[in-house]
Amino acid sequence: MSPATTDLSDAHPEAQTCDPIFCDYGGITAFHGPIKTLRVFEDNAQVRATLETPGEGRVLVVDGAGSIRCALVGGNLGVLAVENNWAGIVVHGLIRDSLEIAQQAFGLKAMGTHPRKSKKDSHPAEHDVEVEFAGVSFKPGAWLYADADGIVVSDKPIHE
């Protein structure tokens, strides 16, 4: 079980909190772990490639530039997240297969849903770079804590 974001925010006012632009979609609402970042645009080929690697309890933060024209994560990628031990995914963009994803044992926060799939290998991706959205700077290796109340990000672990 993840620590409550409300308690973490109270105890660590220096921690960043995301603007409330995300909804919960995964079968697990509360999750936490070290951050791995990925910057993409309307192309989820590298999201898939990343989720095919060992997650080791990390949280994949995908900066999809907030695009609302297609989904970056769907049910098949959710299966990969579970199989490869990713604690969760935060998508600055949209997802699809939301009913399927709700049955999968990982956390997923995204801005919304869209039935259209993304393109493949049409745009370059950037791995392990600092990304900024929702009022927060996400750095590789920093810690992300998520639950029904929101997202808290800290440069170091702040849970016991």
Mean pLDDT of the region 21-40: 98
- Max CA-CA distance within the chain? 44
CA dihedral of residues 92, 9, 85, 132 (deg, nearest 10)? 30
To the nearest whole number, what is the mean pLDDT of the chain? 97
Give the integer Cα–Cα distance in Å for 32 and 57. Answer: 8
Residue 1 in this model has a pLDDT that exceeds 70: no
Question: Is the confidence at residue 150, as pLDDT, over 80?
Answer: yes
Listed in sequence order, the DSSP H helices in the chain are: 5-11, 45-51, 75-83, 98-101
Q: Which one has a higher pLDDT value, 123 or 115?
A: 115
Mean pLDDT, range 107-130, rounded to an integer: 94
Structure confidence at residue 4 as a pLDDT band (50, 70, 90): very high
Give the pLDDT confidence of 63-92 residue by residue, as tens digits. Answer: 999 999 999 999 999 999 999 999 999 999
User: What are 99-109's pLDDT values in tens digits?
Assistant: 999 999 999 99
Q: Distance between CA 128 and CA 11 in Å, rounded?
A: 28
**Distance from C-alpha of 113 to C-alpha of 96, rounded to nearest angstrom:** 5
User: Average pLDDT in the 28-48 region?
Assistant: 97
* Residue in the structure block whose two tokens are 């297969």: 97
